[in-house]
Structure formats: C-alpha cells, structure tokens
Structure 1
Amino acid sequence: MARVIAGALSLDGAPISDAFVRGLATPPAGALAYDVRTWAGDGAHLAQTTFCEPSGGSEAASPAQDENTGCALVLSGHIDNADDLLDELGSRAARGLAERYGESGCVLASYLRWGRTAAARFIGEFAVALWDPRTRKLLLACDHVASRPLYHAVSRGRFIFASTAAQLFGAGVAREVDETAAVTFLYRLDRDFRSFHRGVDTVPAAHTVEVGAGRIELYRHWDWPSRPPATRVASGVEIEELRGIFTEAVRCRLARREPMAVPLSGGMDSSSVAAVAGGLAGRGDLVAPRVYSWIWRTEPSVDEARYSAALAERHGLDHVLIPADRAWPYSEVDRWRPFLTDPYLPPHDALWRLLLERARLDGARAVSLTTGADQLISGSPDYLADWVARGHWLSAAREARARIRAGSSRAALRGLVLPFLPLAAQRWRRREAAGFLEQMMPSELARRHASELPVPAITGPSGWWEALRGAVGWSGLGRSLAYHDRLAILYGLEFSHPYLDRRVVDFVLRAPPDLFYAAGRTKTGMRNALHDLLPPLVRDRTDKPNPYPWLRRVYRERLAPRARALAADSELERRGLVTGEPLRQFVERYIGGDDRLFPVFWYSFVVEVWLRQEAGRLDLSA
C-alpha cells in the first residue's frame, strides 16, 4: 500500500487547522486519486495518504491510536519482522493494535514497550512519525538507509514534516536554494544525503528526530559494524546462508497483497530477484510477479532481450516487453516539475516512466528494484592486500594466479599493490575524472572546498571493506532512493529494495571478500547461491550491455541544442557556481564525441535545469 505521511506540531500554542494538515498531506500534482486520513490531539497533527486503485477502490487506513496512552502514529512503508515483534511483545494489547491497524499497530505497540529505542528492532523499509502526549514529544524515524525519506522544517511557529519536500513548499515553507548543497552535488563532494533548500532538513538514515520542550534533537538508533570482520577465506557454507537471507528478503516483499512488478534487464541483479520470485511461486509460496523488460530494435548492442526471455521462460513468468527506442531522456520534464525539488534526475528517467506506466495499467501496486546491488554484491578485487597484510599469503597467491589465468592480470596487480600506495598516488590515479569538474570550479569555490575534493575509496589493506561500508551511507544512494520514492508517489506505487534489506547488507559486511569476487569474476556469490534458479545463459554471462551508449547518442542528437542554450545563459554561471567558458567547452567536447565528459555533461545539465526551475525561468522548448 503506497502511502505519503505528513504532520505538524504547534510550537507557539497557535491552533493548526485540519484543512492545513490535509493540504500538507496532499501529494504533489499527479493524476491519481487518493484518500487522506488525519488525527489531531494536544497541538499535534498526523496524516497519511493512501493511493486508490485505478478502478476507484481504496484500502485507506487511519493513523494508529492507543486509547490508553493517547499515542498516535503514521507509517509509510513496511515492517518485515512484524510477526516476530508481536511474538516478543507477547501481549493481547499489542496483538489488538496489530489486528486493528496492521503493521502500524505493531510499530505503535513496540514503542509503548521499548520507547524510542524500538526503531532499532524494526527490519523493513519505513518512515514513521509518532506523537506521545505523555512526554509531549513528536518522533520521526527512518530505516537503515532512509528508503522512505522524511523532510521537515520550522515555519510560522510550527514544526512540519512530510514524505516529500514539495509538500512542505505547498504548505508555505520558504523555497530558498542552498547553494552549498548545489556545489557539493555538482562537484561530487557530498558525503551525506541532505536537502537542497535552506531551512529544510531530512531525517538521516538510521536516525530519529525528537521534537519537544522547545528542542529538536537528533540521535542514531542503529548502526552498521564499525570494523571489518576477521580475515578469512570463503569456505562454502556462506553460499547457503546468502541464499536463505536473500530469498527471505525477496519473499517478504512479494508476499504482500499488492500485485508486484519486477523490472528484468537480463543482468545478474534483476535476474536474481526474478529467479527467487519464480522459485517461490513454483513452490506455491507466493503469487508469481509479472516481469518487465526494455527492448531496443534500433540499438542491438544494448538490447538484452534474449537474457530476460531465458529467465522468464525458465520460471514461467508473464513477460512484458517495452519498446524503449523512443524513451528520450528528459522528454517529460514538465510532468516531473512538481517533484523536481532536487537536481537528481538520472539519464534513464524516461525508461522508468515507460515501465511504471505500463505496470500501473496492468494493475501492479508495487515494484521491486535492484537499488544498491552494484555496490553490495559485485565484490572488490582489492582485498588481496588485506590477506597479505594479515598473513594469508598462500590464499592471496592462489587468488592472484586464478585471476591471471582468467585474463585478469590487472585485477591481480590492483588487488596486491594499489591499497599500499600512498594516498597522493591514489588521488593522482583518479585525477582525470575529478580534474574536468575542478576546471569548471571558480577559484573562490576551489579554495573553500580544497579539502573536500574526491578521495579514493581504497586507503589501505582494509580499504575494500571501508568502501563497502561507505556505500551503504553514500549520498548517491540516498539521492537515488529519494528519487525513486518521488517516482513511486507520482505513479501511486510502492517500491521495494531487496538488496538493501538490513539482513542482506549485514551479511555482506561480515562475509569473506572472495565470496563475491573471485578469479576475476564479479558477483560470484549470487551466481553460486542461485545456481539452480538462474538459466546458464544468464548465470554464466561475462558481459553486461547497458543503455548508456544509446543514452549518449540520444543526448548528442536530441539534447545538444538545449544543452548549448542552457550553457550560453547559465544559471550556474550567474550564481558563481561554475566558470562559464570551461563549462561551454566541455559541453561542446562531449557533443563532439568525448565520452570522458559524460559525468560533467550530466551533472551540469541536471543542476542547471533544477536551478532554472527554482529561479522560475526553466524553458526546455528549444
């Protein structure tokens, strides 16, 4: 069930009208019907919005309330371990709340037992807001990766929060660009997911915001391990554990009442989700999802139809093919404008729109994505230095030889040598990509941000693990999740991310590194764990086409006039965030065929579009 949540707390004692709260809970402009339910008490207001079925039906739910304490709660997302929590709670009152309000009731009962530490016990994808009249405090909490964002601000004597920043602006919060946030995004300096507007904050992943007694406090309710696991070599037993954990992550997302759609590219990540779902459906454990694949007739080099078809046929899944040749990037920015509250708008946005429109028409209520898979299960070749440093010389030598035999001599050398290089040498190795961006940076900004320039992920023998842990809190992951959440709201869908399941990530962080990268191959853990579920054509493939060659061509053919016009009268340059001449040179060089400049082109294009939107002068009709 897709939900948007919102609420307000009076800080000055002035009343807040129900009409204001209903307006706050109204989703940004879209064509879908919705139902808003509210709760009010002691100056606090909570609201949750449920999207209706295309047929007009609705499964609207009211905010959860406990009559004995007066506590009330709204929940966006889902709690996967609700049954376990109820068993641990073991009371009739807890089960009564769960029977009446579902997972929201379980969360409320957990808070009544364990207080604000209850959030650490929740496994799932959630954002929750709770009012406790006994302490007169409002609590906002997000899951371990903030897959369901929450934005908040103080405006006109009120603390207000909502699932999207657009809701806050619609309720009268000042919309002022935070240029520091824009700079850190444009130049890839941001380390944490943050709002792009002054006075608007986000609830960080695995954190709780507590509002009360004239104070707003932030504390972490859960954290990942801070140190790498003891060095060991994969023994084989980890394969079954990985299979069990990943299967449960997929099962608990697909076992809900919502009809599920699974995008299927034919690569390992989406094929693994579809294969596990197909295997569970084959045993009768759940209803088989429908799978969706993009196909290209004019770009055979990026088409993966034969791989996706092999997986769908292997499990008897209903397979929908979506022609993607005319999914031009940014072809529907006008429709996206109400949601364009930050500059993250990926190049493949139009592909997602095609898929989601079709899935919604087919009756899907939820979509399973592969967010985080590349960062978590690809594996890193850089762990050999760790093995050498910790005395596992024989294992390191065997793995290096296996890589060389597999034609991955470079990976063998990289894994043994690169982590031991001085930081300056590693920075020089990655200088080219960062150098283009730095050439656009005005001198004053360069001096201000000199210490923040991108640094290598590998900074010692344990760098492979530090990079893996850092990927969980990477700002790019947070921005991707926030983008997908807005996209889900636009189409009235619920998105889920099985690779970011807390149990999956916890397993990856404690697993031996050769489980996921061995003998020059990536994602070996998933290939082995799902050996019997993946067709050989998919399981054993060594290539991975992607739509970027097609996207680059389309950018050059269709966006060149727009990009030139934007660069010629740049809002970035007006605000002193770039030096204009290098920007225009890079745009021309990219249009002329220099693919190295694609990141520069994309980052500058989307930030420019967003800033023009904020300044009220966005016109993409050229």
Structure 2
Amino acid sequence: MEALRLEWDGGVPQLWTADSMARQGLVTTVSSRAGTAVVAGWIGSVRGRVAGARGLLDDWSRPQAAPPPLPTGDYAAVLVCRDRVLLMRDQQARIPLFFRESGGRVTTVSTSARHLGGGAELERRYFCRYLTGNMAQPHSELTPFAGVHRILGGEVVELSLTGQMRGRVPRHVRQAHDPSVRAADGPGLGGAAKDLRLALENAVGRRVGRMTACHVSGGTDSTSVALLAARLLAAEQGDPGDLVLLAGRFGSGELAAERPYVDEAMAEIRRYAPAARPVVLDADDVADFDDFQHHAGDPDEPHAHAFRAPFWGRLHAAAADLGCDTLLTGCGADPIVDANPFHLHRLARTGQLRRMTRQARDWAAGSERGLWDIVSAYVVQPALPLAAERVTALVRRRGTVLGGLGGFARPRWLRSGFARAHGYRAAGIAESRFVFGREPEQSLYEAANYLAAPDPLSWRRARQDGFFLSHPFLDPEVIATMRRLPAETAFQPGRPKAVLREAMADLLPPRIGGRVDKVPFNQLYARGLRTHGDELIDLCRSARHPLVTEMFDVETLCRAVREAQFGMGDSYSWDRVNSSLALVAWLERLDRSSRARRAAMPVIPAS
C-alpha cells in the first residue's frame, strides 16, 4: 500500500501522499521555512500527530553536532529540508519504507515495495531470507525486488537534494527510554511492578486516539491494556473520548471456554468506563486460510501470518465501521513482561553452572517441563542453534516431512540447489544470530518486536479501516523497564508474568489476574486446514509462476500440508508451511496489482 511517495523531477524532489489516508490522519504533512515533513503513522502520541511531525522537522532540519534521538512512535517519515533529504523509521518498524537506488542515487521512495518493484527482477536471496522464519523480513534490507531496499527500524538515510546517497546511519543506539547502564541489582517485585505500571500507563496514553478500540480476549494482557485505557479516558476532563471493546466469541469447541473470561473482562472494564461500547462478534464461522489467496497474495511482501487474517480482519472491520482511529492489543506481553528464560544462558556462559542448574530445575517445575527440555531450549540451542536443529531433525523426523523441523533449517520442500545458489545457509546463520545474538537474554527483546506483533495485515488494511494496530507492551519505555530488571525479580515458578500481575493487582478481576493458561487458537488452524487443505494443495500444484517450481519441490510441500492437516508436526514446522504457502499465493498474484491514484503535492525546499 502506497501512503507516500518521493520522486525527483528535473532534480527537484516531489512528494505525493494518499488523499484518503491524509484525511484519516494516517499521513501527516507539515511545512515550515526549514522544509517539509511527511509522516505515515504517528510521533509522540496518536492525538498529537501534527505536533509530533512538526517536532521531528524542527529537530532534524537544523544542523547539530550530533543527531538528535529518534522520538517514540509508530512512523515512517520523509523530510525534505533546505540542504538535504532524510528518510527514517522508528525502532519498532511498524510502518514500512523503501527506496529504489541506482549508481549511488536514490530515484524513488515509497511505503510500497511492490510499487517500486514493478517490472524489476525478483531478488532470490530475499526468498531464502524470508523462508528462514517469520521474523526475517522486517530486519533485513533485502526486498523481493532487485534494486529496491528497505529502510530498517531505527535507521536514518541521508540524501542530497538531488537524491545522491550521503549515508545510512543505523540508529540502534539507546533511545530516550533505554537504560544507560544495565542494573546489576534492581528493585524488588513491588518496585518493579510500580515501574512497569507507570511505563504501561504512559504507553497506553500515547496510543489513545479520538475513538479507541481495545481487543479484549479475556487474558491478562489485553485486559490490562483495556483497563488502563478505560481509566485514562474516564479521568479526562472535557474530552472523554470514546472506547470500543472488541472481542471474538466462540459458541462451540475449545475456544468456547474463553467466553466467561471475556464477559468478566468486559464487565470490569465498563466499571471504569460505563459508556464503553462492547462489540462481541460471533466467530464460529471463521477459520484460518479463509480467502487465503486474497489475504496472502495482495500485500506488498509475502506475509507469513496471512492464514490468520480472516479472524483479525473481522475485528478490524467492526472497529472501522464505528469510526475508530486506533486499535490497541495485548500483543508482546508474553516475551516482554514474562520472566526471561535466556537468563539461564547468561549463567552458563559466565560459569555459574550450579546456579544455572538450580534455577533451571525451578523453571522446569514451574512450567511442568523436564529439566533437559529447559536446558536444551535456553542454554544449548542459543549456543549452537543450527547444530541443535540438525540433531533434533535427525532424532524426530522418522519418515515425515515436518518431523523435527525448527525455525532455521532448510525445509525439505525447498530445493537444495536453489538454497545453495541463493544463500539459504547464510540466511539461516543471520537469522539465528538475530534471534539469539551474543547475549540471548537481550536479543529476546529485539526479536520479540517482530515475533509478537506481525501486523502487515494492519498496514495493508489501514486505508479502508482508518487506523493502525498499536501494541503498548512493545513500547520502548515498557521494553526498557523490563530489560533493566534482574531476571530473578520477574521469575516466580508457576506464576508467569509476575511483575505484570503485581502491577495490575488493583484493577484485574481475580479470575483473570490469577489465570496462567489460555486456550490457543489451534481450533481455528485445524478447522482451516480441514476446510481448505485441498484448496491449498491445488494452489501449489496449479501455480504458474516459474519461481514456484524453481524454488519448491511442490509434491513435498503438498505432503507437508497433508501432515499438518492430520495434526503432525508442531508450531515451528507449521510456521514453515504457512510461510511457504503465503509465498506461493503472493507469487501467483504478483502481476495483478495496479498503482493506486495519488494526490500530487509538490515540495519545494525552502531557500
């Protein structure tokens, strides 16, 4: 989807923005004597979009000895200043931004890779990177199109006024909310809970809009976000705003067990905001992979989680019908505010083996897992990720396609010749280093940003919905708060997310605050494969794009779909099937897109 575009006409930069997105506030344009800034998304706060864009232009347009820190928000921005052009994205990288380069000169900038890549050769290395796991896309410069590059999260690209590349500065430095020094000793649970509560309140406050929707699933995470939003709106004087509570309701199957929790969460939230509108949608007829070729084929890039789009799309549509301008979720709480299991890796690599063993036993007892399972997952695999996957595959394969298939090893349906020719092994190494890094207990927070909230669906639907999804638990301030806590503070065997529960103890109803398990969405996945398995296999066998057969052994991929349909494999192997199917659908619809009409807005740099 193209929200903004920058081109050069006779050496003069020209900007275009999508009219409808500008009217909805999803794209903001500000100008001053210093230049012009166009921002997709929001800076500072959802309600302060214009002020945030103006502050960004003021801070970055004037020469300084050191670049200012990037502000908090979900945004991609293009700044045309008097002496340069700046392209940037926030660290969380929710809003995409791409540029086409030739001979050291940038010719076009856009939020749509597909619009820039029309007619370009496909970049086969990208597909190897994509197929290593569902976190690969947002933190890799590669795009599906040769010559089209991604601006990474937290990166600033500086160009001359004629488009000559001056520099790319990765802004992976500490931001305003990051701790300057990692604390060796932190507050106890009480102090940590107060810090988290304040950070989460601030994160929710930044995301509350004119009319705010909150997803309510009946779990601790989404209920906490909705409660804080309700209290914030109830406390406002003169501008109470509006609050919509969104939930999907299942009348049968295992997900029906979530209904009492949803009802209790709704009732508690409405105690603080009686005017909040509960919108509970019957979802018994929704299944994963409904209309899969549309959901997977139309985005700018292959979308590994397109199979889940039907459920989320139904909720989005309800919020859009009511005129909501932001939708808050509880995504990200599991990896961010739970105890960090990779602390065990730190103990092992620093020689504290006795302490590591003792804590691993506590962890195993609290999670009802075996000691070796804990040590293998959080000590051995991060140290030797690719080797650990190979050993697991040898032990568990037993004649199946999905047996033992993890997140990095080559799936058997990806042709070995294609993988060798286009760098699959190097891509797997790069992905494993991103996921675990030298310090897995810190890399967890970086990886969680991309794993917990895969929302290309939100971006693709933004024009029709009028909002983006937003995730308070992935706010930089919340992440910084948790990352500086000692692991022992957050870990209580048998009580996950102990700091969050303590932080929200005065608001969460006891039934929700005390629950430790939620019913997963496996029912939707199983129903989707039962319903659409044959269609998915037909999609693979009838695919006409030449890259499909060049890349995949189609019959082996079809066999993997059948195994998943029969319940074989696990979440890792199913992810690999889902991403491969999404790629097939994306390639099949690649040539069917057309450029959307844009409203022209010429930009003339101030002299």
Q: TM-score, normalised by structure 1?
A: 0.78
Q: Secondary structure at the match of 1:367?
A: strand
Matched, 1:235 2:222: no
Match of 2:30 in 1: 64
Q: Secondary structure at the match of 2:159?
A: strand
Asked if structure 2 preserves the Cα contact closer than 8 Å seen for 1:324 and 1:351, the reply is yes
Distance in 1 (CA, whole Å) between partners of 2:442 and 2:501 is 24
Asked if structure 2 preserves the Cα contact closer than 8 Å seen for 1:419 and 1:460, the reply is no
Counterpart selection for 2:44 from 71, 80, 84: 80
Q: Secondary structure at the match of 1:586?
A: helix
Matches within 5 A, 1:81-160: 102-113=51-62, 120-133=69-82, 135=83, 137-154=84-101, 159-160=107-108
Match of 1:414 in 2: 374
Which protein, 1 or 2, shows the higher relative CO under an 8 Å CA cutoff with sep ≥ 6? 2
Q: Secondary structure at the match of 2:232?
A: helix
Query: Shift in Å at residue 219 of structure 1?
Result: 1.0
Match of 2:170 in 1: 220
Query: Shift in Å at residue 163 of structure 1?
Result: 2.2
Q: Which runs of 5+ in 1 are unaligned?
A: 15-42, 84-97, 618-622
Query: Shift in Å at residue 113 of structure 1?
Result: 4.2
Asked if structure 1 preserves the Cα contact closer than 8 Å seen for 2:41 and 2:74, the reply is yes
Identity of paired residues, percent?
19
Query: Shift in Å at residue 430 of structure 1?
Result: 4.8
Letter in 2 for 1:298: S
Query: Shift in Å at residue 394 of structure 1?
Result: 9.3
Question: Cα distance 1:111–1:346, how it changes in 2: closer, same or farther (>3 A)?
Answer: same
Q: TM-score, normalised by structure 2?
A: 0.80
Distance in 1 (CA, whole Å) between partners of 2:18 and 2:75 is 15
Distance in 1 (CA, whole Å) between partners of 2:63 and 2:478 is 25
Query: Shift in Å at residue 403 of structure 1?
Result: 4.4
Distance in 2 (CA, whole Å) between partners of 1:281 and 1:436 is 48
Counterpart selection for 2:514 from 531, 534, 540: 540
Q: Secondary structure at the match of 1:542?
A: coil
Letter in 2 for 1:262: C
Question: Cα distance 1:319–1:460, how it changes in 2: closer, same or farther (>3 A)?
Answer: closer
Query: Shift in Å at residue 295 of structure 1?
Result: 0.9
Query: Shift in Å at residue 587 of structure 1?
Result: 2.4
Query: Shift in Å at residue 292 of structure 1?
Result: 0.5
Match of 1:280 in 2: 232
Asked if structure 1 preserves the Cα contact closer than 8 Å seen for 2:437 and 2:443, the reply is no
Counterpart selection for 1:188 from 129, 133, 137: 133
Match of 1:607 in 2: 583
Asked if structure 2 preserves the Cα contact closer than 8 Å seen for 1:79 and 1:125, the reply is yes
CA RMSD between the two structures: 3.9
Query: Shift in Å at residue 411 of structure 1?
Result: 5.8
Letter in 1 for 2:497: K
Q: Out of 577-586 and 332-341, give the one that drifted further.
A: 332-341
Match of 2:599 in 1: none
Match of 1:23 in 2: none
Q: How many correspondences in the alignment? A: 556
CA deviations 1:494-517 (Å, max 9, x no partner) are 332212212112222222223443
Query: Shift in Å at residue 383 of structure 1?
Result: 2.0
Question: Cα distance 1:513–1:415, how it changes in 2: closer, same or farther (>3 A)?
Answer: farther
Q: Secondary structure at the match of 2:412?
A: helix
Distance in 1 (CA, whole Å) between partners of 2:218 and 2:444 is 25
Matches within 5 A, 1:77-476: 77-80=41-44, 102-113=51-62, 120-133=69-82, 135=83, 137-154=84-101, 159-168=107-116, 173-188=118-133, 190=136, 192-193=139-140, 194-212=142-160, 215-216=164-165, 217-224=167-174, 229-232=182-185, 235-236=188-189, 237-254=191-208, 256=209, 258-284=210-236, 287=241, 289-301=243-255, 303-316=257-270, 317-332=276-291, 336=295, 339-344=298-303, 345-384=305-344, 386-387=346-347, 399=359, 402-403=362-363, 406=366, 408=368, 410=370, 414=374, 419=379, 423=384, 426-428=388-390, 430-431=392-393, 432-434=404-406, 437-447=410-420, 448-453=423-428, 463-471=439-447, 474=450
Question: Cα distance 1:605–1:394, how it changes in 2: closer, same or farther (>3 A)?
Answer: closer
CA deviations 1:560-601 (Å, max 9, x no partner) are 221221232444775421223322322232233324352343
Distance in 1 (CA, whole Å) between partners of 2:147 and 2:516 is 48
Distance in 1 (CA, whole Å) between partners of 2:291 and 2:435 is 42
Letter in 2 for 1:453: G
Query: Shift in Å at residue 385 of structure 1?
Result: 5.1
Question: Cα distance 1:616–1:381, how it changes in 2: closer, same or farther (>3 A)?
Answer: same
Letter in 1 for 2:321: L
Distance in 1 (CA, whole Å) between partners of 2:306 and 2:524 is 14
Asked if structure 1 preserves the Cα contact closer than 8 Å seen for 2:27 and 2:40, the reply is no
Letter in 2 for 1:144: Q
Q: Secondary structure at the match of 1:177?
A: coil
Match of 1:523 in 2: 497
Query: Shift in Å at residue 311 of structure 1?
Result: 1.5
Q: Out of 518-527 and 199-208, give the one that drifted further.
A: 518-527
CA deviations 1:161-194 (Å, max 9, x no partner) are 222234446xxx4344322212221243937344
Query: Shift in Å at residue 248 of structure 1?
Result: 0.6
Asked if structure 2 preserves the Cα contact closer than 8 Å seen for 1:299 and 1:550, the reply is no
